[in-house]
Amino acid sequence: MVTLEPLRADHADALLAFERENRAYFARTVPDRGDVFFTPAGFAERLRSLLAEQHARVCRFHVVLSEEGNLIGRVNLMDLVDGSAELGYRVGEQAAGRGVATAAVAQVCRLAATEYGLTSLTAVTTLDNPASMRVLARSGFTRVEETTVGGRPGVRYVLRHLGTTPDGP
């Protein structure tokens, strides 16, 4: 259904187009990235920073590609420390509601356990994003506490014992 690829410099044009096309859609449920992010120079600077973090193995960033090879989402593991990381993901509006996020999260959970040596993940989402809450629940995450996300009410989830999720290895 979908393919994950580690983020690379040659994804830049497709990724910026994806982010621009979906900016208003994402801003409904996640904090906006700010105007500078969407400029060619601002985006290039941010991408260099992300690739440096990935090279240092602090984070693992992935693009989600459709069967046709189009960039339709992102799924990331941030702040890899002591076998744990924070999961973040976003799927473009045109691909929403088709199981893309659930499939991408399942794939990244397998990678986290088998390739990255992680044993647990956390994730946060806003309370006004029920689709994201469903993805996390389907993926074996447990709701643990209320929090704020970019100043908005949210909830934190945890997935312990990676590899034992419904779609795990």
Domains of the chain by residue range: 3-160
CATH topology of domain 3-160: Aminopeptidase (3.40.630)
Q: What pTM did the predictor assign?
A: 0.89
Q: Please, is 162 exposed, middle or buried when counting C-beta atoms within 10 Å of its C-beta (0-12, 13-18, 19+)?
A: buried
Q: What is the pLDDT of residue 137?
A: 95
Residue-wise over 123-134: b if at least 16 C-beta within 10 A, else e? bbbbeebeebbe
| For residues 111-122, average pLDDT | 96
Angle between helices 100-114 and 130-138 (to 10 degrees): 40
- Residue entry with tokens 């984070």: 59
Residue-wise pLDDT for 67-86, tens only, equals 999 999 999 999 999 999 99
